[in-house]
Amino acid sequence: MAPLDGHRIVVGVAGGIASYKAVELCRRLVDAGAFVSPVLTAGAQRFVTATTFSAVASEAARTSLWDSPEVSPHTVLGQGADLVVVAPATARVLAAYAVGLADDLLVTTLLATRAPVVLCPAMHTEMWEQPAVQANLSTLRQRGAHVVGPDDGSLAGGDSGPGRLAEPEEIVRACVDILNGAGAGGRPDDLAGLDVLVTAGGTREPLDPVRFLGNRSSGRQGHAVAAEAAARGARVTLVTASDRHLPEGIDLVPVATAEEMHSAVLSRCRQADIVVMAAAVADFRPKQASLVKLHRSEGVPDLVLEPTPDILAAVVAGRRPGQTVVGFAAEWGDVGAGAVEKLRRTRVDLLVANDVSAEGVGFEHETNAVTILSAAMELNVGPVDKRLVAGAVLDAVVAHRRQEQGCP
């Protein structure tokens, strides 16, 4: 069952350069099982078209109070919604919503709903920092609106600073948490006080100073696990071979090779309560890398490979009582048989397996489909956004730890 199955979500899109990201948000919400109804303001249509949203959402996009078959489209949308998301929420929409100015379909729908409302502000830094904007947002927060973002990063026109729309996966996760009753804070704090070590990315084993043996791992899944663990209250250390955006507060340890990851993990894993080995570590490396760039004119080099350190085996061999170890298995074809065997052989507490031969998920994609295994359970998740997979993995970790501790 997808995490948003059965839920109706209105996605309001206001007029800002970040409007294009709302297309991806709609797609991800639909992938998570939601029935999505897009509502575009006149300003939004200056940046994106209603046709685009109609193609990715669950029904045709709406743009006006006056072009709908219903007499009162705002009440139909507002009363039927389980959640209303506004992304981007511009300064104008925040102001209109705060004072009750029902001058278009989006704000009228916001005023006509009793469903939870998620506001995702996006605007230039100078606008975001205006006292009027902050006062309107404070008013809406006091009335119960949930606020996601904005992020600090690249903005239109080459500027950088606070005001960037939150990433679609973060908004989707907030929607899941709110609809699943995680509360106004958006996420459960079930990892509060715990130390979590996560590995991510594909290692690069050098052939010479400019070439390497690698794999197609983007690091998205491991980074999603780290971000989700931090959002749920954990102290997170991420050992990664990928260069990707991370939320603040995560201890980042960049590495490149399997040997570097082996050293970084073993020096830190003993103090971790939970170790999630999501990295795609190379199984082999050149036995002798060239110290200078190899040239075509010199012919094909004699390439001798040797195995890299088995980091997961080392973690399991040295784990302390009460520590939970999660392994990842990138299988080709028959996930079930290979995953069950790896669970038995590695002696991890949980194993997350996915078929990297499947199209549209896994390596180099933003979605994943996995099977989470333990001695007591088997759970299929996806295909959904990798942040939602991360949440399911950590849910399984929490359930396993409670069972181990004898908690109901």
* Per-residue pLDDT tens digits for 226-245: 988 988 889 999 999 998 87
**Residue 294 clears pLDDT 60, i.e. is over it:** yes
Catalogue the E-assigned strands of 105-232: 117-121, 146-147, 151-154, 160-164, 195-200, 205-206, 212-213
Better-scored residue on pLDDT, 348 or 358: 348
Question: Does 368 participate in catalysis according to the annotation?
Answer: no
Catalytic annotation, pick one of 136, 180, 215, 368: 215
Is the bond into 188 cis (omega within 30 degrees of 0)? no
**Residue 354 clears pLDDT 90, i.e. is over it:** no
195-404 matches 8-179 in CATH topology: yes
Q: What percent of the chain has pLDDT over 70?
A: 94
Q: What is the token pair recorded at 86? A: 């506004």
- Span 167-176, pLDDT tens digits: 998 899 889 8
Domain boundaries, the chain: 8-179, 195-404
CATH architecture of 195-404: 3-Layer(aba) Sandwich (3.40)
- Taking the C-alpha atoms of residue 398 and residue 404, their distance in angstroms, rounded to an integer, is 10
Is the dihedral angle over the CA atoms 340, 345, 350, 354 positive or is it negative? negative
Q: What is the fold, at CATH topology level, of the domain defined by 8-179?
A: Rossmann fold (3.40.50)
Plot region of 322 (φ>0 → left; ψ -120 to 50 → alpha; else → beta): left
User: What are the residues whose beta carbons fall under 8 Å from the beta carbon of 134, sequence distance 6 or more?
Assistant: none
